[in-house]
Every structure is written in structure tokens, then in C-alpha cells.
Amino acid sequence: MPTKVIALTGNQAAAEAMRQINFDVAAVYPISPQTELMGFFAEYVANGEVDTDMVAVEGEHSAMAACIGAAAAGARVITASAGPGIAYMVENLYIASGMRLPIVLIDVNRALSAPLSIHCDHADSMLTRDSSWISIFSENAQEAYHNLIMSVKIAEKAMFPVIVNYDGYIVSHSIENVEVLDDETVRNFVGPSGIHRIPYPLLDVSKPVTYGATAQPDYYTECKYQQHVDFLKVYDIFREVAQEFESISGKYYDFIEEYMTDDAEYIGISMGSSFGTLKDAVNALRAQGRKVGAIKIRLYRPFPVKEVARALSNAKGVAVFDRADSFDGIGGPLFKDVASAVFHNQNRPLIHNFIYGLGGREIHEEEFMRAFDRVERLEKGVESRDYLVEYLQVRA
């Protein structure tokens, strides 16, 4: 597996993957912290290092509309956005997935206004969670690079679009060593482009088809049912692609990543860049003799229900860390997913939700340790709670 190690930011690593994949079309509109990513890629376009037709559009809604048209024609397509840009393209996200178009979207995660913030949280990605897009979270630049390469194949095998998430500024603008595959390996892995990668390309004029047709009440439900059934097949497709990717990279990416969970009584769960800090908190508590562990959610949609239920089957208490608030009186989006996953477990642990890291606030090991303490005291009945959710980092 020929690789080289290069110091790259998350945005540089993603741009490098885009160069190696050599997409047919990239339709984009700038928004921080995504702007730098497309700037890097624009240099590859300007230097003739890719064949990509880079389309500068007037907004994110148009960016996704251009992607839909190009993907329906048979092109291999990518776009990228963040925060309010994701919000602006949401209507078209549902159209892309309903039409079963294998588009790749990079979400450089950013908070939503108001108040205005260009820094990271996962509120933008949570807007997409029910849109029938496959959603993958990346902890660092290495995972962003690998997830982006895998996403092309996952999308084209599943015939669903894929979002690759990584945290704005924390990952996008931080530099780290990244193992980069050689161009030939990446291009052999994703395979050649061409309109017949998808079943019914618009440009195949010998077999004319219609996209965007109206469905009346007598057929709409059947269309959604087929979408529902096929989305459940993503689990097998993701694993199949992950195993194939392991053969060229030596790295296997499962739906979730467990850390010291075998004998853990209390387990913390997070997504994205905070997982390293969460593992540090686990290490510190283990040094005190505490039986704690951590889980990272990598495949967020479809949610890894069975894997989470199994991993929590012997836990006494679970701390779910959400980098977004649902403002619904229940808890954050990840909290509700985890609670649903363990509902049918014979052993149902106490689950408590912590909101953290909003608008780019840095999370520290001590704060995660404090959350573990809180969950243990709740589970033992030493403390009580009025709500299932609380903020972890509110200043006094």
C-alpha cells in the first residue's frame, strides 16, 4: 500500500482527496470555514491537475441544484458547505436523495445563527439527519481524507448521496500528519467515471428517462417505502466498501469505534474531533481505578442501532455528548438516537445528555471527567435530575 506522510490541514487533506478522485463536476459557493477547502481545490483546477468542471454558483441552494442536474446526467459530483450554507441547501438535499443521486457533500461543520458564529458545532449537520443522506463523521484530517475517498464508492453502490463531516477550524484549519495514498491507488479504488456508473443517466439518449416527476397520493408512499428499504441496505454496503478500503490503506473503519468498553460500567459517547479528548478523560479516570470507556459514532446515518445497543449492553450509565441542542425538552439529537438504540436491551443503562462545544467552544478533559462523575452519581441515586439534558460548559 504505497503511502506518504504529509503535514496537512483538514481542508488540505480533503482537497487532496478531491484531486485524486478527479470529480467531473464541483459546484460551489464560498462560506467559512469551507472557503479555504475550495480555494485549495481551485488551484488544482487552475493548474490543470484535474479534469473537474468547477462551477461557481450564486448560493448553496443553487450549488446543490447544479449537483443534482450533473449527477442525474451521469457525472461524478461533489460540493462543500458549512453552517448556514447547509441550511440554505436543505430543500435540495431531499430532492437529491429522493432521486437516488450519488452526490458527495463535505460539511465543514459550523454553528447556525443567531448569534452569528463561524465556528464549529454540529447544528448544521443535524439539519440533514432525516434527509436520507448517508452521514459520516471524521475525528481528524486523516479520517476526513479516508472518508472522502470511501464516500464516492459508498454513494455509487448505495445510490444515495453522502455527507462527510469534519469540525470547522478544529479539523479544517489544524495541521497534522496525514498518510496519503498514491494517485493510482485512489483512482483504481473509486474506479473510472462515466455516465453508466448509475442505472438511468439523463445523457443516455438511447434510453430516455424522466427525473423530477410528480407523484400523487396513489404512488408517493410506495416511492418513500422503496427509499426506506434501500436505505437500510447501506449498512452492508458501508461494511463492504470499508473492507475493500482496508485492503489498500491498512485501516478499517467500522460504524462505531470503541475505547476500553469491554469492562466499562460508565461509557461516554461523542462524534467528531472531541473523541480524542474523551479518550484522555477515560485514561485519567482509569488511572483512578474507575471502569469507564468511550464510543465514537462514525456512521451517523443510517444510525448504527445494533452496534450501539451491543456496546452498551453491560453499561450501568451512559453520558451522551451532543455538539448541538434540539431545544425540545428531551435532549440533543445523538442522545435520542442512543436512547432509542438501547430501548430493547434487557439491561437499560441510565442515560444522561450533555450539550458541549457550541459555537467552537473548546472542550477539556476535566469537563468530560465531570460528566462521568455526574452520570455515576445519578445512576447510584446520590443525585437526581429534573431533565434528561444539561449544558456542560456554562460560565458562572
- Is-contact 112 358, C-beta < 8 A? no
Q: Which residues pair with 317 in a beta bridge?
A: 266, 350
- C-alpha closest to that of 39 among 219, 237, 172, 185: 172
Q: How far is CA 282 from the centre of its chain?
A: 24
Predicted local confidence at residue 282, as pLDDT: 98
Provide the residue-wise pLDDT of the chain in tens; the chain has 396 residues: 678 999 999 999 999 999 999 999 999 999 999 999 999 999 999 999 999 999 999 999 999 999 999 999 999 999 999 999 999 999 999 999 999 999 999 999 999 999 999 999 999 999 999 999 999 999 999 999 999 999 999 999 999 999 999 999 999 999 999 999 999 999 999 999 999 999 999 999 999 999 989 999 999 999 999 999 999 999 999 999 999 999 999 999 999 999 999 999 999 999 999 999 999 999 999 999 999 999 999 999 999 999 999 999 999 999 999 999 999 999 999 999 999 999 999 999 999 999 999 999 999 999 999 999 999 999 999 999 999 999 999 998
> Does residue 230 sit in helix, strand or coil?
helix
- Is-contact 137 6, C-beta < 8 A? no
CA distance 306 to 323: 23
pLDDT digits (tens, 9 = 90+) for 358-395: 999 999 999 999 999 999 999 999 999 999 999 999 99
- Is-contact 137 271, C-beta < 8 A? yes
- Is-contact 273 171, C-beta < 8 A? yes
- C-alpha closest to that of 61 among 38, 32, 93: 93
CA distance 296 to 23: 30
- The H or E element containing residue 287 is helix 275-287
- The H or E element containing residue 181 is strand 175-181
- Is-contact 57 63, C-beta < 8 A? yes
Predicted local confidence at residue 79, as pLDDT: 98
pLDDT digits (tens, 9 = 90+) for 34-79: 999 999 999 999 999 999 999 999 999 999 999 999 999 999 999 9
> Which residue reads 448569534 in cell numbers?
115
DSSP 112: P
The set of cell numbers assigned to 318 is 451512559
CA distance 107 to 168: 9
Predicted local confidence at residue 396, as pLDDT: 82
CA distance 63 to 82: 13
Q: How far is CA 373 from the centre of its chain?
A: 29
